[in-house]
């Protein structure tokens, strides 16, 4: 896991500004404290890299060159099938390698297979290859969006980086002195609790989408192409036991190759089936694997007891960290800085601390993200099944029931059921988080734009999923919104904040292939409250029996409790001192906080969403808050910054 920054100059652009480039690269030092290098390829390209050494520590330095210095690449991530690809390239083309790692494998694959090489990569990745002969840049991001890749295209050329903060000094907004806040994405954030891809909160800086690649030639445009799209294909299963075995073996094999590393590998362990399954399978390949668990210092919110019981059952050691309200308040400014854009998911905080703990013992940790989107793990996925008695009625009848729902008083049983059942899925479901409604945003936002709707984010995704049943449509929506906008951002930024590589074995081509075939009744069986049923059946005998049907918690955080007590004054002071009042009605925010403290409904998620934005604004816009981020000390001697000039 590493941090990259690359600049490809436009034709006739000003000379390369290496000092400014190096300063921007330094903001990524937490992603790779082991080595730092800046390389110049001719007069057109600067490539910078911060390395966290994982595979082939002694030789696979970056930026990495190939084919007599024709190609040079910066790459963040891991390619888990690199050994098999190297063998194939050697056998088919006689390819030669100077290293033993995965980085050179990518460049060699591109040399022999061209852009199609990206389809052969099994792993998590974001990279840019510069071809010094054709003067062409080629870049790509992994199919599920595990690794980030930000870019900004200016009159000077193309800048690409692992985090947005490294691009901000070169953005159009920085040149004009404008804050450059994207109003539409602020609106989306207030609804979704994250900024949806491909945009960011800063105008002119975007993200390459998951499963996308691009080419760029100086003086031309950036051509973005989609090389992979998730294809769910629910199919009736005649032999469920055989299907369960396929799931189990696909996950076992994924865990096996995800453990390829030249440094210690551990795993996160919670009370749920996902992380427990990863640990149980990883233990088969390393019986001494270390595990790490986060707990919250409020009764009813801790996963520690169950996780420790699972660790004992599996015969592995687990290290716990207990997170308090004060620890959450202390860490949040640092967390927001690392995020680049606000993400109002309170689970970021325990994840930050468990990653910090893990980094003291290992360099790589396995985690369980992706299981819910693949196998149907969210409780909300049962909603289409519960609403069938209404959604199957003729349109005219539904219209009448909708009218009835409008006259039923709030809080009366049946009102919500009728409303949801008579609202099309495309309008009622836009992901796991639903923070502020449009009416609430109209009161909250100073510059509310009624033309900006959450459907702007989901309409195109629903079009792609039009042939699927409603449950699978919801999975597809989450795969392209919630997973890559919230879940994977948390995993990447909180691990990298602590110079820890997190690997996610569920998010693998082969695991997806066996999950994609599952029919609804094997994900969410009738007359049951189970979710991801097929996965649970596949893991019987792998995970402890009491975990098989345990309800997912997923780092629950007691902000509902703490914002009434320990965090109340802290939150009040943030609202009182925030400079974000030109965009957000901070009086409205304070009234929400007071209503929450008074017990007038649970307003905690709304309050937290505004708090995170106010902290982000203070750090990145008016710069009144120092987040207190310190760079990690390098574990290896820093490589000298090198100018490598290729004519």
Residues labelled catalytic = 2
Under a CB-based contact definition with an 8 Å cutoff, are residues 121 and 509 in contact? no
200: left (phi over 0), alpha (psi -120 to 50) or beta: beta
Under a CB-based contact definition with an 8 Å cutoff, are residues 376 and 523 in contact? yes
Q: Tell me if 367 is assigned to a ligand binding site.
A: yes
Q: Tell me if 102 is assigned to a ligand binding site.
A: yes
| Radius of gyration for the chain, computed over Cα atoms and rounded to the nearest angstrom | 25
Which helix (H) or strand (E) is 260 found in, with range?
none
How buried is 173 (Cβ within 10 angstroms: 0-12 exposed, 13-18 middle, 19+ buried)? middle
- Residues comprising the chain, all counted: 647
Under a CB-based contact definition with an 8 Å cutoff, are residues 3 and 50 in contact? yes
Residues 6+ away with beta carbon under 8 Å from 645: 40, 41, 42, 43
Give the separation between CA 497 and CA 631, rounded to whole angstroms.
9
Cβ atoms within 10 Å, residue 560? 18
Under a CB-based contact definition with an 8 Å cutoff, are residues 249 and 243 in contact? no
Give the separation between CA 325 and CA 353, rounded to whole angstroms.
13
> Long-range contact list for 491-494, CB < 8 A, 24+ apart?
491/146, 491/351, 491/367, 491/369, 492/146, 492/147, 492/148, 493/163, 493/335, 493/338, 493/339, 493/340, 493/348, 494/335, 494/338, 494/348, 494/351, 494/352, 494/355
Residues 6+ away with beta carbon under 8 Å from 171: 152, 154, 180, 202, 203, 204, 205
Q: Tell me if 368 is assigned to a ligand binding site.
A: yes
Cβ atoms within 10 Å, residue 299? 8
Gap between the terminal Cα atoms of the chain: 30
589's tokens:
């925010």
Under a CB-based contact definition with an 8 Å cutoff, are residues 306 and 550 in contact? yes
Give the separation between CA 194 and CA 201, rounded to whole angstroms.
10
Residues 6+ away with beta carbon under 8 Å from 396: none
Give the separation between CA 497 and CA 517, rounded to whole angstroms.
37
Which helix (H) or strand (E) is 66 found in, with range?
strand 64-66
179's tokens:
């804050």
The values of phi and psi at residue 558, to 5°, are -90, 45
Cα distances (angstroms) measured from residue 529 to each of 275, 293, 355, 382: 21, 27, 32, 8
Residues placed in the known binding site for ATP: 367-368
Which residues does the annotation place in the binding site for L-glutamine?
Answer: 102
Known binding positions: 102, 367-368
């Amino acid at each position: 896991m590493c941090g990259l920054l690359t600049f490809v100059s436009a034709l006739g652009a000003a000379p390369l500004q290496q000092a400014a480039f190096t300063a921007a690269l330094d903001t990524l030092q937490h992603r790779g404290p082991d080595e730092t290098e800046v390389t110049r390829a001719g007069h057109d390209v600067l490539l910078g890299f911060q390395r966290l050494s994982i595979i082939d520590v002694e030789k696979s330095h970056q930026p990495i060159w190939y084919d007599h210095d024709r190609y040079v690449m910066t790459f963040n991530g891991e390619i888990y099938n690199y050994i098999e690809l190297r063998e194939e390239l050697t056998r088919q083309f006689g390819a030669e390698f100077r290293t033993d790692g995965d980085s050179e494998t990518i460049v060699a694959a591109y040399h022999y297979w061209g852009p199609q090489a990206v389809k052969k990569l099994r792993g998590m990745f974001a990279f840019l290859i510069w071809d010094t002969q054709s003067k062409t840049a080629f870049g790509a991001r992994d199919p599920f969006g595990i690794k980030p890749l930000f870019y900004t295209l200016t009159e000077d050329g193309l800048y690409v980086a692992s985090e947005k903060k490294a691009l901000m000094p070169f953005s159009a907004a920085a040149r004009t002195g404008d804050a450059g806040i994207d109003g539409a994405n602020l609106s989306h954030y207030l609804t979704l609790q994250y900024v949806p891809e491909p945009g960011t909160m800063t105008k002119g800086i975007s993200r390459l989408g998951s499963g996308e690649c691009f080419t760029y030639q100086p003086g031309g445009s950036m051509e973005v192409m989609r090389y992979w799209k998730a294809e769910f294909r629910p199919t009736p299963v005649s032999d469920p036991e055989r299907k369960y075995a396929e799931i189990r073996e696909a996950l076992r094999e994924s865990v096996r190759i995800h453990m390829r590393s030249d440094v210690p590998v551990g795993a996160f362990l919670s009370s749920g089936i996902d992380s427990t399954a990863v640990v149980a399978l990883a233990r088969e390949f390393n019986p001494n694997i270390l595990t790490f668990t986060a707990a919250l210092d409020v009764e009813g919110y801790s996963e520690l007891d169950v996780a420790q019981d699972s660790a004992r059952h599996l015969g592995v050691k687990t290290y716990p960290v207990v997170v308090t309200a004060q620890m959450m308040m202390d860490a949040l400014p640092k967390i927001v800085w690392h995020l680049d854009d606000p993400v109002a998911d309170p689970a970021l905080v325990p994840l930050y601390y468990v990653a910090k703990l893990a980094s003291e013992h290992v360099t790589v940790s396995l985690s369980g993200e992706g299981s819910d989107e693949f196998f149907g793990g969210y409780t909300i996925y049962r909603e289409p099944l519960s609403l069938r008695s209404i959604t199957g009625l003729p349109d005219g009848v539904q219209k009448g029931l909708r009218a009835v729902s409008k006259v039923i008083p709030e809080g009366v049983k049946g009102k919500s059921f009728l409303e949801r059942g008579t609202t099309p899925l495309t309008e009622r479901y836009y992901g796991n988080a639903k923070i502020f409604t449009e009416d609430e945003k109209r009161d909250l936002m100073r510059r509310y734009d009624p033309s900006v709707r959450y459907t702007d984010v989901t309409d195109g995704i629903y079009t792609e999923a039009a042939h699927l049943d409603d449950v699978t449509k919801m999975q597809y929506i989450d795969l392209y919104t919630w997973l890559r906008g919230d879940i994977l951002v948390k995993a990447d930024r909180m691990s990298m904040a602590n110079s820890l590589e997190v690997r996610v074995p569920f998010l693998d081509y082969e695991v997806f292939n066996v999950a994609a075939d599952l029919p609804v009744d094997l994900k969410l069986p009738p007359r049951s409250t189970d979710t991801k049923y097929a996965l649970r059946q596949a893991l019987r005998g792998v995970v402890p029996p009491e975990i098989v049907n345990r309800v997912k918690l997923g780092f629950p955080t007691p902000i509902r409790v703490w914002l009434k007590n320990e965090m109340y004054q802290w939150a009040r002071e943030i609202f009182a001192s925030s400079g974000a009042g030109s965009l957000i009605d901070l009086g409205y925010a304070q009234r929400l906080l007071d209503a929450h403290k008074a017990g007038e409904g649970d307003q905690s998620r709304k309050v937290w969403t505004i708090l995170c934005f106010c902290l982000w604004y203070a750090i990145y816009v008016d710069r009144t808050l120092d987040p207190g981020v310190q760079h990690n000390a390098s574990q290896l001697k820093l490589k000298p910054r090198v100018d490598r000039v290729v004519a």
